[in-house]
Structure 1
Amino acid sequence: MTHHVACIGAGFVGGPLGVIIAYQCPTIRVSVVDKDQGRIDAWNSTSPPFYEPGLEDLLATIRQRTIESSGPLEDFERQSIENNLSALQQAQSNLQFSTDVNSAIQEADIIFLCVDTPTRSSGSGKGCAPDLTNVQSAVRTIAQVANSNKIVVEKSTIPCGTSAMLRDLLHACSCHQVRFEVLSNPEFMSEGNAIADLLSPARVLIGSQQTPAGRDAAEVLAALYRKWIPPASILTMDCWSSELAKLAANAMLAQRISNVNSLSAICEATNANVDSVAVACGFDPRIGSHMLQSGIGWGGSCFQKDILDLVYIARSLNLDHIANYWASVIEMNDYQQNRFLQRVVSCMYGSVAGRMISVLGFTFKENTSDTNNSPAISVVKGLLDEGAIVSIYDPMAPSSQILATLRLPEAELERLQICQSPYEACYSADAIIVGTGWDEFRTSSEHPVAEPYLTMNGTNSASLTPPLEKPGRLDWTQIVYRMREPKFVFDGRNVLDGEFLAKLGCRYVRVGSASAWDTVGPSNNKIYV
């Protein structure tokens, strides 16, 4: 029976996983540990280190459950605990965030490896193979500290065959006479939907060594998951298959997006509409409609890294045709981003030098604060390289994170502004680019085309924060009114109502549809410069 679970790594994988286990299994102690004190401090505050819908609510529920389980409290005592999360963590909570890695290892029955596995930046496999330095470091620590039998679970995405390597490393470095069983249990969380994915996963994979001890360990982990996941959704297999299935799943999802994006290029060069094409294809039950939304490309921490890992494996096995096939998925994504940038420049009469361009959204997708490999990165850098003046607004990515992601030279920083509101970002813009499909950016045909108003403040300048027509949504009437002529809106996520914006006087350009403002193509109504 499992009494204590540890998650090594308090990032996007380990943090939410620990929260869900603690939430679903009140009798099991959960320790989420990390060497990064700042990250742990964030987890022990009221604001986790990253945004994920539902995460803060679950943390609050667990902490409130802790207060209630501690028995009757006087009002002043309850207020004291609620204001002091460190005290709260000690009040019989089954969820702990700490930097004490050794204690977590010693006390845990099951240890989840949730550390980062970035792509190698040097050495053999540079640019493709994953860097297992963090994984190996964690495993060596487990081997040296563990004083009782442990089940070690690969949660991080790792290459095929890693479980065997970790098993050998654990036994070779062990300082005590203990047994280790290594399982593969890849995560299938989608950023922005991680909590729902953990609460109701489509499937849970558990790979084990095909021995009695390996199968027993797999059953222990399966029993933990069965506390909230239907048994039919838990699949057991060998470690190699489980490890490869994770890479294959992400590669296929990225490939699906690249498929529809490749069709968007054909649609823009003709009079076809990529949304209509996607709907027609999606009606075929063998294809389905999921993830057929065209845009400026995919991003995030997983897709590119996992495809590169798959490419590396194929090349290592001398399967060059297979490697080239999967590498082309990344090439198509890069091409889509570059093509979008060139279309912006082309529509704006071949030059954006000195033009003010607003980028709405910088995270790689909506409902997350992750900016890793965001398509907006290449768009912003490309615009700056073309001489544009760029303003950025994102509701969840802080300025410091955006700057750290871009890593711009000083000369380009002078032409970049990170804004605290979309109205500030779009004020006097020559063009607006929607880089992320945040709900607040969306339009609908329900919005009336009202006479624009212009309020004045004490400094005799226009107010940048007018009241919204709809709570949480932008007032596009006011956004467009404050733009400079000619007013371009480039919809990189196809989330805007083009007809509505056209009535406001915009030159609207979307992915996967020909535009009157394109300067190339067969359409007779296009403008050539």
Structure 2
Amino acid sequence: MRTILEANSKPNCKFQILSNPEFLAEGTAIADLFSPDRVLIGSLQTQEGKDAAVSLAEVYAHWVPRERILTVGLWSSELSKLAANAMLAQRISSINALSAICEATGANIDEVAHAVGRDSRVGPKFLKASVGFGGSCFQKDILNLVYLSESLHLPEVAAYWRQVVEMNEYQKRRFSKRVVDTLFNTITGKRIAVLGFAFKADTGDTRESAAITLVKDFVAERALVNLYDPKVPHEQIWLDLAEAMPVTPAATIQKQVQICGSALEACKNAEAVVIATEWKEFREIDWETVYAGMNKPAFVFDGRMLIDVEKLRDIGFKVAVIGRGERL
């Protein structure tokens, strides 16, 4: 960009290129904009570049405290954006890897995460086990970091960061396999209610959503899937499933997948309920009504650690929660 501007600039007209990455999270973007953890401004470390960075910092200083405005080198700014998302995703993949050990040993990943998070050097954030992370940023930025490492001839560094994405994919496959294994090693012809299709609550974004992988795996096993999400448009769901299963005819997908208007409707006549997104309304489901309308034995698979396990077991459900080793 700098080369193009300099080649086309008029005499005595100079440009400075600044890197000002955004750190907004979906669902909290406005709050993040008004009260950011930091504002990052990267520039060439020439006097002209530093002056340009100061000029942009003056704009942010109207509402952001000065100590939160960081001026750094151009490469440092660009790399910091990738590094922040990569390290957050790394924490999720790390706790998800430990959740697999918990399920195999009988440990409880919630207890492990709480104990680890009490260490002031680690902290509690992003230590919530789940069926896997999604969204437009984490995987894209990690793969950008992988590509950058490979282009700089750093294969070991590339392999390290690629493993974060591979662990995330493994977590999704592992969860869908647990559903199949628990339902007596076959889900052919069985009806499974998948609650949630967005990659996280409080957004309609489905990019890289774990639910897409789950539904794809269930369809491949010839299950019947009832889907419900309070925000994702039906058209988007069909587009995502068609893209995820390019060799499966659209008629086959629509024969096996039904999009429902409520959680209760999705759960009716199902053998199992799978919680894929942490929507608040899924914490408040009338589980006694759900149980009455399901085929027996009725299973619940919680991929977001939302439910009161003992309450559901008292109702009669067979319950499996990510990162918990209780045997059904």
Same fold (TM over 0.5): yes
**CA–CA distance in structure 2, aligned partners of residues 474 and 178 of structure 1:** 63
SS at match of 1:390: strand
Q: Which residue of the other structure, out of 129, 139, 147, is the alignment partner of 1:312?
A: 147
The residue number in structure 1 matching 2:320 is 509
Equivalent pairs: percent with the same residue?
A: 51
Q: How does 1:72-91 map to 2 (within 5 A)?
A: none
**Relative to 1, partners in 2 of residues 1:173 and 1:417: Cα closer, same or farther, differing over 3 Å?**
farther
Of residues 221, 224, 232, the one that matches 2:67 is 232
Q: How many residues align?
A: 322
Are 2:310 and 1:499 aligned?
yes
Measured after TM superposition, the shift of residue 226 of structure 1 is: 1.0
Letter in 1 for 2:323: G
Selected match of 1:322 from 157, 175, 179: 157
Q: For residues 184-218 of structure 1, what are the alpha-carbon distances to aligned partners after superposition, in whole Å with 9 as ceiling and x for unaligned?
A: 01111111221221111111100011122222221
Q: What do the CA deviations read for 1:10-55 (whole angstroms, capped 9, x no partner)?
A: xxxxxxxxxxxxxxxxxxxxxxxxxxxxxxxxxxxxxxxxxxxxxx
1:483 aligns with 2:294: yes
- Aligned-partner residue type, residue 208 of structure 2: N
1:346 paired with 2:176, answer no
> RMSD over aligned Cα, in angstroms?
1.3
- Residue in 2 aligned with 1:25? none
In the alignment, the residues of structure 1 paired with residue 15 and residue 257 of structure 2 have an alpha-carbon distance, to the nearest angstrom, of 52
CA 478–178 in structure 1, closer or farther in 2 if over 3 Å, else same:
farther
**Once superposed, which parts of structure 1, at least 4 consecutive aligned residues long, lie more than 3 Å away?**
173-179
Q: State whether structure 2 residue 30 is matched by structure 1 residue 204.
A: no
Q: Would you say 1:279 and 2:114 are equivalent positions?
A: yes
| TM-score between both structures, scaled by the size of structure 2 | 0.95
Residue number in structure 2 paired with 1:213: 48
1:373 aligned to 193, 200, 208, which one? Answer: 208
Q: Partner residue of 2:170?
A: 335
| Deviation readout 1:83-117 (Å, 9 max, x if unpaired) | xxxxxxxxxxxxxxxxxxxxxxxxxxxxxxxxxxx
| Secondary structure in 2 matching 1:334 | helix
SS at 2:313 equivalent: helix
Q: How does 1:41-60 map to 2 (within 5 A)?
A: none
User: Normalising by structure 1, what TM-score?
Assistant: 0.60
Q: Distance in 1 between matches of 2:60 and 2:66?
A: 8
Once residues 314 and 238 of structure 1 are traced to their aligned partners in structure 2, the CA distance between those partners, rounded to angstroms, is 19
Measured after TM superposition, the shift of residue 180 of structure 1 is: 2.5
Q: Once the two structures are superposed, what CA deviation does each residue of 1:380-426 show, in whole Å capped at 9, x if it has no partner?
A: 00000000001111111110111111214321221111112111111
> Post-superposition shift, 1:515?
2.9
Gaps of 5+ in 2: none
The residue type equivalent to 1:368 in the other structure is T
Partner of 2:184, secondary structure, is coil
1:412 to 253, 269, 274: 253
SS of aligned partner of 1:258: helix
Partner of 2:229: 394
Which of the numbers 420, 424, 427 marks the counterpart of 2:268? Answer: 427
Offset at residue 514 of structure 1 (A): 1.3
CA distance in 2 between counterparts of 1:225 and 1:380 reads: 44
Larger deviation: 176-185 or 214-223? 176-185
CA offset digits 1:313-370 (Å, max 9, x no partner): 1111111111101111011001000000100000000000101101101111111111
Letter in 2 for 1:484: N
Distance, in Å, in 1 between the alignment partners of 2:18 and 2:160 is 30
Q: For residue 140 of structure 1, what is the aligned residue in structure 2?
A: none
Q: What's the CA shift for 1:169?
A: 2.1
SS in 1 for 2:42: strand
